[in-house]
A and B are shown apart, each in its own frame.
Chain A
């Protein structure tokens, strides 16, 4: 069974700091990796996708993928209180060719002023 693991948190960081969120996955042949942000009482919203080893930057967000170590991370630079949310990691494209993503349970991030 494919597993995606995230520390549930909460991760608390001061405003302006870098928040680092981590995710590990069990299926070595996974191909696609996604980060979703979910505000309390709202639905998940896609914020980053990454398919190749290395870093991918989009504004204040950087996704990092290391397939050899089977982890993917999300860095949020200059964290703002509005970044306070739960961040879900999702992985798909593993053994059997399934395109159905497996979600982690999410990490709660709190950015305090």
Chain B
């Protein structure tokens, strides 16, 4: 039982390059999330997926796209990376039940855009 896994762990991109961050969970959770974390800014929600087949924008969606490939997998794509997207990216999952929505986080991807 690996929980939430993310790949890659580290990535360096040049401005304008594209990449996809992968996330998978094996807890049979309905909901999945992508956050970014910057110093002094806390966790900011980029996109989330309440259930398989649905995705919604969070607080900071500009410059990103997501795909909920199946119940297990939720990917985040940067089409044209910018230095402002340098950050640590966390994927999380939860059962999605209204009141008991405890989130479980992956280990994170540290992305640098030059």
Contact = CB atoms under 8 A, between A and B. Distances in A.
A44 to B, nearest CB: 5
A105 B41 contact: yes
Contacts of B34: none
Contacts, number: 55
B42 A105 contact: yes
A90 B108 CA distance: 19
A104 B90 contact: no
Contacts of B41: 105
Interface in A18-46: 31-32, 34, 42-46
Interface in B97-114: 97-108
Contacts of A88: 42-43
Contact of A32 (B33, B43, B48, B100): B100
Q: How large is the interface on A (under 10, 10 to 19, 20 to 34, 35 or more residues)?
A: 20 to 34
Interface residues of B, number: 24
A46 B103 CA distance: 7
B61 interface: no
Contact of A99 (B58, B96, B108): B96
A99 B43 CA distance: 16
Interface of A: 31-32, 34, 42-46, 49, 51, 88, 90, 92-93, 97, 99-101, 103-106
Given A46-B102, A97-B98, 6 more contacts: A32-B99, A32-B101, A42-B107, A43-B108, A90-B103, A93-B101
Interface of B: 31, 33, 40-43, 45, 48, 58, 90, 94, 96-108
24 contacts: A32-B100, A32-B101, A34-B102, A43-B105, A43-B108, A44-B43, A44-B103, A44-B105, A46-B103, A46-B104, A51-B99, A88-B42, A92-B101, A93-B98, A93-B99, A99-B31, A99-B97, A99-B98, A99-B99, A100-B45, A100-B48, A100-B101, A105-B40, A105-B42
Give the 3 A-B residue pairs with the shortest CB-CB distance, closest first: A105-B42, A43-B105, A99-B101
